[in-house]
Chain A
Amino acid sequence: MSVVLHRIDDRLIHGQVVVGWGQRMGIGFIVLVDDGVRANLWEQELYRMGVPATTDVVFATVAEAAARAPEWEKDPRKGILLTGDVDTMVALCAAVPEVRKVNLGGIHARDGRTERLRYVFLSDGEAAQLQALADRGVEVTAQDLPTAKPVPVAELV
């Protein structure tokens, strides 16, 4: 198995990820790619709190994630890789061209963003970045939970 979900979610590791996707898909590890959390042991402890003891959690920078991606692709378990924002996922996709699908799981309201879906708010710049990913052949869809219908990024930009 390998990383079966590359997800942008500004809540990072939370119920939807651990229960909604994790339990349903039988996840064995979660990779959280976020420079701030990677540098903060207390934040790492916080994010481990809600994860079952049988699920490994890895904290990484983009560079570390790119270096370890081949190792994770060979992992016999299923994994989820999370970033908290569009910029980080775009950087990861540039560093790891093998990423072929990106899930928009939760990008919430902020100044400069407009609502595209109940759980997806994007600035024009973020929308353009995601469309550029799609134009390069990456399948970018919004889907908060596995039971929801995926919405192609073309419908959001």
Chain B
Amino acid sequence: MIRALLERWRQKHRTVAYPAQPPTIPERYRGEPELAPEKCVAGCNACVAACPVGALALEDGAIRIDLGRCLFCGDCAAACPPGAIRFTRDHRVAARHRNELIAGTAERRLAKTLDEKMKSLFGRSLKLRQVCAGGCGACEADTNVLSTIVFDLGRFGIQFVASPRHADGLLVTGPVTENMALALKKTYDALPEPRIVIAVGACAISGGPYVGHAEVRNGADAVVPVDLYIPGCPPHPVAILDGLLRLLGRLDESR
């Protein structure tokens, strides 16, 4: 017992100061892209060709990246000689609607808060049931980590629960395999209303690296309606937390 206490004293309090302080993001992290289409060389298609999942398009002199598909691998930036694409360290990538995930368009925006009624229900207490539907384990791991002492999700009133009957919402990962589509639908149906759905990671938004495979449904919204999209492969835990807190109106919308 005394050893456990001594070790506890030695390892100290380790919960991050975020959101009061800015989060610690790795130096080489690839977050929200910054696009400079004016640098594009006429006729060059190198970024589009480099993208493994078809997330990029060049239209009318604009570069558009569908962050719902993007694996944030950086292959497009590496393939672009004039440097028209750069991945910043900005972790704020979540959005409420699918069309708000397209970087390089006027629709791209930070995730907005739930409407007043839903916010009054869930803003200070949100119970989530997680369903992995073909996810590789990375999105799941970086969602799970939010419940550790590092992020201490409970301090925001958010908690992962074991039964859909106890949950206000679903957090879905994975491209939704054919073999999980029924289980996902049944779990959703078991949630009491009103309910929300959060899609975490490129797979759950668009199919990710598996988009177009006959064995998957190309994302959660083929089976259930989605209220929040959090891109990444996988998203950094802070990116997931940012999305959840924005949805609940717990962050300053202007920042």
Q: Is this pair of chains taken from one and the same complex?
A: no
